[in-house]
A and B are shown apart, each in its own frame.
Chain A
Amino acid sequence: MHEHDVLVIGGGGAGLRAAIAAHEEGADVAIVTKLHPVRSHTGAAEGGINAAIREGDDWELHAYDTMKGSDYLGDAPAIETLAQDSPEETVQLEHWGMPFSREDDGRVSQRPFGGLSFPRTTYAGAETGHHLLHTMYEQVVKRGIQVYDEWYVSNLAVTDHDDPADRECHGVVAYDIKTGQVEGFKARNGVILATGGTGQVYDHTTNAVANTGDGAAMAYRAGVPLEDMEFVQFHPTTLPSTGVLISEGVRGEGGILYNSEGERFMFEYGYAKNDGELASRDVVSRAELTEVNEGRGVEDEYVYLDMRHLGEERITDRLENILHLARDFEGVDGLEEPMPVKPGQHYEMGGIETDENGETLIDGLYAAGECACVSVHGSNRLGGNALPELIVFGARAGRHAAGADVSEAEITTGKTAEIEEEDGLETPVEPGAVATDDEDVAADGGDVSADGGAAVVEPDETVRSAVERERTRIERLMEKDDGIQHAELRADLQKSMTENVNVFRNEEGLKQALEDIREVREAYQDVYVNDPSRTFNTDLIHTIETRNLIDLAEAITLGALARDEFRGAHWRQEHQERKDDEWLKHTMLSWNDGTPELWYKPVILEGQDKTYEPKERSY
């Protein structure tokens, strides 16, 4: 059994920042990641880091913009924390050597971004995430923080109390991808989940293949609520064959969207007469899909983004990277042809419920970054707010887990007196775990109770028994020699989510998705791993990941079905208005002995000095 004070699961932006913070507090910290840290998806972020670091700007403006952008579904204490901590965190990155773009006077450059009242987005070319990731990894190397790279964490070691609020997390179980060894990792102080997004729930996403929401799914099954999962951000310009992101910069420079009839539809069909191509992401995404659905798409799938008229000089000067992306990933020369684009899944705004210090309902378990929902993005994330989230809440979680004296959180976790139970949500099938006596079903990882219900609370024993369960699970998956393979199940899941829980949503489709998810969940009982090797068995990893995707797809869909309003990225055909009277609340989902339980907690609109009054978000 490996043992450290703090274990950080995931080696992307949030994980690295958390590890550095915990280390600075004097903790013995280790990072456990299924990739190598520099392979993490943070490296694909392009835009920038919002931080109020200049005269004329202040954190309150940043907080206000973010609250408005969230369509009033963000929690004020979280948003104000983001805005307050971001300047120091951003300058900290500069002090660690991050190669930010520079002004003439040598200071860090800032540029305007959508929804911001001040040009407060700091950036490093169009590769901000790459530089942020590498800069922080360099600091991890400098400090000698131990990294277990290519170790796949497949479950948490949590005590077996009946009430999730009484449970404690003592570590994780991880699988050494290189050798196949399953081992326990004990955390004396805390485990921080920083496992990133859930893009692989969809078949078309800007996310990496590794973004399977492992942390969120494991926390959920261990009893931590998932919050606001229905809010999935779709980006309007991604390449059709791969999902590679074509930055908003193209439209910013004057790029034009055309349908197959050669019409500039954003204007001609009146989707956004004032803003045209520069309308907000959700508006453009809906416009594109409407064109395709009404038969004016190209090959029934996408539209064109044209930048040829900008001229070679300007394109090479400002959008060089885009030429490379279109060429390398779509085989299209952006100087000669329009680029095919369509909306793609981009960011999961919901996630593991945490407070401002990164703590979850379960003692000793923390989460930060895209896998978490401290609720800074609400129903719609502003560009440039994802990277500050990683560093701000990564650092806070790291400090707290290491035992630093932190101020008490204003956001509460778990059920309090204010919660509202959901009653009356009709689902076509029973969601949640499959009821069966078949022992093989333990192989699906859904059973998190230790030793079949014997109350295990002692830390070492909690980790040991979790290891035993995982060994059994993996053996069963490996021993089975026929059945269904993960690739087929994953493809079916992704297809249904893309068809039914995408940019456009309606009751019928959401119910269809629940049925499809159920079908996949049941079929998963027959899943088997074809590769008998213990060496670098990606077949096994993908099989376990697929189980996580099933739970997350279901959480997204249940939330989307329950929320019968139109807010931010969540569009409902039957409900074309934001219903503040009913829906200024977070959708919470708890895995209650295998049955997802839906409940709500109010949004906190009271900030430090003021209350944020919901206003109409004009498109």
Chain B
Amino acid sequence: MSTQVPEEKEQSETEQEVNAETEAEITEGASYGDQRRSQRDAQRRESVSGAPVDIEGESFELKVFRYDPEVEGKMEPRFDDFAVPKQKGMTVLDALIYARDRYDTTLTFRHSCRQAVCGSDALFINGRQRLGCQTQISDLEEPVRVEPLPHQDVVKDLVVDMEHFYDQMHAVEPFFQPDEEPDGDLEEYRQTRENRENIKMSTRCIWCGACMSSCNIAAEDNQYLGPAAINKAYRFAMDEREGEDMKEHRLNVMDQEHGVWRCQTQFSCTNVCPKDIPLTEHIQELKREAVKQNLKFW
């Protein structure tokens, strides 16, 4: 384990000092940087009394998992510590961005929308799968510990390989397969409000992979479709616009050895889902439907 910014941490009474310390290391070719730095320092001095965002003087410790398969000195997994000034409304993603942009530009993680809809920044934060952008620092115990999603191969730092997750999603024929199109120009399929309501939560999945990472069964059985893919199947199987034959086909897919029956209703997927999708419930419902379907043939 190494410590990335020990000096700053000890001295970090204010964000200003932290930055001055870090930036002072950039010495060459920095006439532009020098000029900007003095401007910025002047601005900071001006804004000290207003202190618009920083909760003055307080910082917290961000412990981040680090690993790079090809850079010497980084091949051995470790944790780096960063001192990050507390700001009102700050999320774990904000803290990671702060650490990356101020201390170490090699710190690597996926992120994009910053509003819990792109699904890129599912991480293992203080021992639980969460979206970095959706998690307030103020809700966490310190130090804040950030690791890549468990049970997935680590590509680098916090980035995991998502291929297996995507493969499982694709394995359930994740696309609409109706029998025939409605008659007439611009005619829609009819769908009752109740039916839409019934599938609504299942359609909210953002493919973040938190559920899959939290599932003990998926960790043991690489072929288990897992909660996200089964939820995707639920989304179509329960959509009344697809016909009965297709529903039967979908239930057959679910009824396989590595399908719904692997689920042991531990609810870990449901607990970590950042979109509050009742995943376990959906899996149970497909189990019931599969049983009902089998009974029909007796």
Chain A interface (Cβ < 8 Å from any Cβ of B): 35-36, 38-41, 43-44, 53, 87-88, 91, 94-97, 99-108, 125, 127, 130-131, 134-135, 138-139, 141-142, 178, 208-210, 239-245, 299-301, 325, 328-332, 482-488, 491-492, 519, 522-523, 526, 529-539
Contact with A along B94-125 (1 / 0, CB 8 A): 10000011101110111111111111100000
A533 pairs with B89, CB closer than 8 A: no
User: Besides A53-B186, A91-B186, A102-B196, 4 other CB < 8 A contacts?
Assistant: A43-B117, A44-B118, A97-B178, A97-B239
Given contacts A535-B68, A535-B155, are A125 and B117 in contact (CB under 8 A)? no
B186 contacts A130, C-beta separation under 8 Å: no
State A142–B187 Cα separation when bound (angstroms). 23
Partner among B28, B52, B70, B204 whose Cβ is within 8 Å of the Cβ of A533: B70
List chain A residues, Cβ under 8 A from B16.
Answer: none
| B284, CB-defined interface residue at 8 Å | no
| Cβ contacts under 8 Å, B36 to chain A | 488, 492
Give Cα distance in the complex from A41 to B170, angstroms: 21
CB distance from A386 to the nearest CB of B (A): 16
B32 touches A535 (CB 8 A): no
Chain A residue, CB-CB nearest to B43: A495
With a cutoff of 8 Å between Cβ atoms, the chain A residues found around residue B111 in the complex are 209
CA distance A532 to B26 in the complex (A): 17
CA of A104 to CA of B178 in the docked complex: distance in angstroms? 21
CB A344 to nearest CB in B, in angstroms, measures: 12
CB atoms of B170 and A102 under 8 A apart: no
| Known interface pairs A329-B89, A331-B88; A134-B203 also in contact (CB < 8 Å) | yes
- Whether B174 pairs with A178 at a CB distance below 8 angstroms is no
User: Could you show 13 A-B contacts with beta carbons less than 8 Å apart?
Assistant: A39-B110, A95-B189, A100-B188, A102-B196, A138-B175, A241-B88, A299-B50, A484-B33, A531-B106, A533-B106, A533-B156, A536-B157, A539-B106
Considering the complex, which residues of chain B in the window 133-190 have a beta carbon less than 8 Å from any beta carbon of chain A? 133-136, 138, 155-157, 159, 162, 166, 170, 174-176, 178, 181-182, 186-190
- Contact digits for B235-270, partner A, Cβ 8 Å, 1 yes 0 no: 010010110000000000000000000000000000
Highest count of chain A CB atoms <10 Å: which of B70, B90, B100, B176: B176
- Nearest 9 pairs between A and B by C-beta? A97-B176, A106-B190, A531-B106, A142-B175, A487-B101, A138-B175, A241-B89, A523-B32, A39-B118
Q: Is B45 an interface residue (CB 8 A)?
A: no
A141 pairs with B115, CB closer than 8 A:
no
Residue of A102, A141, A486 with highest tally of chain B CB at under 10 A: A102
CB distance from A235 to the nearest CB of B (A): 13
**In contact, A242 and B115 (Cβ under 8 angstroms):** yes
Contact call A484/B32, Cβ cutoff below 8 A: yes
Picked from A97, A105, A134, A530, the residue with its CB within 8 Å of the CB of B106 is A530
Q: List which B223-245 residues lie within 8 A (CB) of chain A.
A: 236, 239, 241-242
Residue of B nearest to A535 (CB): B156
Find the residue from B91, B94, B114 having the highest chain A CB count within 10 A: B114
A210 to B120 CA separation, bound complex (whole angstroms): 11
B119-A536 in contact (CB<8A): no
Contacts of B176 in A (CB 8 A): 95-97, 135, 138
| Cβ A208 vs Cβ B239 within 8 A | no
With CB as the reference atom, state the residue of chain B lying closest to A240. B89
Chain A residue numbers with a CB within 8 Å of B136 are 328, 331
Does B193 make an interface contact (CB < 8 A)? yes
- CA separation between A300 and B90, bound complex, in Å? 19
Beta-carbon nearest neighbor of A244 in chain B: B115
Q: Is the CB of B206 within 8 A of A130?
A: yes
Q: From A109, which residue of chain B is reached at the shortest CB distance?
A: B193
Say whether B88 contacts A536, CB under 8 Å.
no
**A41 and B106 within 8 A (CB):** no
In chain B, what residue has the closest Cβ to A138? Answer: B175
Contact A38–B119 (Cβ < 8 Å): yes
Q: Which of A104, A529, A536 is packed against the most chain B CB atoms within 10 Å? A: A536
Chain A nearest Cβ from B180, distance in angstroms: 10
Contact A243 B89 (CB under 8 A): no
CA distance A532 to B175 in the complex (A): 41
**Residue of A at shortest CB range from B139?**
A331
Say whether, besides A107-B188, A331-B138, A526-B29, A99 and B114 are in contact (CB < 8 Å). no
Contacts of B178 in A (CB 8 A): 95, 97
In the assembled complex, B200 has its CB within 8 A of some CB on chain A: yes
Which B residue sits closest to A491, measured CB to CB? B101
Given A95-B189, A244-B115, A487-B101, A139–B175 Cβ distance below 8 Å?
A: yes
Interface residues on B, range: 35 or more
Q: How many A-B residue pairs have CB under 8 A?
A: 199
Residue of A nearest to B207 (CB): A38
* Chain B, Cβ-Cβ closest to A326: B89
* Known contacts A44-B118, A88-B186, A209-B111, A102 near B192 by CB under 8 Å: yes
Q: Does B71 contact A (CB under 8 A)?
A: yes
Q: Are B101 and A331 in contact (CB under 8 A)?
A: no
Choice from B74, B118, B138, B204 contacting A127 with Cβ under 8 Å: B204
- Are B105 and A539 in contact (CB-based, < 8 A)? yes
Q: Which residue of A lies closest to B187 (CB)?
A: A91
Q: How far is A495 from B64 in the complex, measured between Cα atoms in Å?
A: 29
- How many Å lie between the Cα of A484 and that of B136 in the bound state? 31
In this complex, the member of A96, A299, A522, A535 whose beta carbon has the largest number of chain B beta carbons within 10 angstroms is A535
The CA of A96 and the CA of B241, in the complex, are separated in Å by: 10
Q: Which residue of A lies closest to B91 (CB)?
A: A329
B30 within 8 A of A: yes
A328 vs B121: C-alpha distance in the bound complex, in angstroms?
14
A210 touches B175 (CB 8 A): no
Q: Are B114 and A209 in contact (CB under 8 A)?
A: yes
Q: Which of B41-87 contact A (CB under 8 A)?
A: 50, 52-53, 68-71, 74, 87
Q: Are A102 and B193 in contact (CB under 8 A)?
A: yes
CB <8 Å contact, B117 and A130: yes
Whether A43 lies near B113 (C-beta < 8 A) is yes
Q: How far is the CA of A100 from the CA of B189 in the complex (A)?
A: 11
Q: Please give, as numbers and ranges, the residues of chain A lying within 8 Å of B91 by CB-CB distance.
A: 242, 328-329
CA distance A286 to B209 in the complex (A): 41
Q: Contacts A97-B176, A106-B192 given: A519-B155 contact, CB under 8 Å?
A: no
Q: Quick check: is B191 within 8 A (CB to CB) of the other chain?
A: yes
Question: How many angstroms between the C-alpha atoms of A532 and B71 in the bound complex?
Answer: 7
B116 nearest CB neighbor, chain A only: A328
Interface: B199 (CB within 8 A): yes
Q: Report the nearest B residue to A140, measured CB to CB.
A: B175
> CB distance B52 to A299 under 8 Å?
yes
Q: Which of B105, B110, B176 has the most CB of A within 10 A?
A: B105
Cβ-defined contact, B29 with A484, below 8 A: yes
Within the complex, the shortest CB–CB distance from B118 to chain A, in Å, comes to: 4
Nearest neighbor of A520 in chain B, beta-carbon distance: B32
- A99 touching B52 in the complex, CB below 8 Å, given contacts A210-B112, A484-B30: no
Q: A41-B113, A97-B239 are in contact. Are A329 and B188 (CB under 8 A)?
A: no
Instruction: Report the separation of the CA atoms of residues A331 and B159 in the bound assembly, to the nearest whole angstrom.
Output: 27
Q: Which of B101, B108, B193, B241 contacts A536 (CB 8 A)?
A: B108
Question: CA of A97 to CA of B182 in the docked complex: distance in angstroms?
Answer: 12
* Contact present for B119 and A39 (CB under 8 Å): yes
In the assembly, what is the distance between CA of A531 and CA of B118, in Å?
Answer: 25
Closest to B100 in A: A487
* Most A-side CB within 10 Å, residue of B182, B190, B203: B203
Residues on A with beta carbons closer than 8 Å to the beta carbon of B110: 39
Q: Given that A300-B52, A488-B36 are known contacts, is A131 also in contact with B203, CB under 8 Å in the complex?
A: yes
From A105, A329, A526, give the contact of B190 (CB < 8 A).
A105
Pick the contact of A141: B50, B156, B170 (CB < 8 A): B170
Q: Which of B90, B188, B191 has the most C-beta atoms of chain A within 10 angstroms of its own C-beta?
A: B188
The residues of B that contact A127 with a CB separation of less than 8 Å are: 117, 204
A245 CB contacts on chain B under 8 angstroms: 115
Cβ of A331 and Cβ of B89 under 8 Å apart? yes
B134 engages A328 (CB within 8 Å): yes
- Measured CB to CB, the closest approach of chain B to A193, in angstroms, equals 19
Q: How far is the CA of A299 from the CA of B104 in the complex (A)?
A: 31
Using Cβ atoms and an 8 Å threshold, which residues of chain A touch B112?
A: 35, 39, 41, 208-210
CB distance from B178 to the nearest CB of A (A): 8
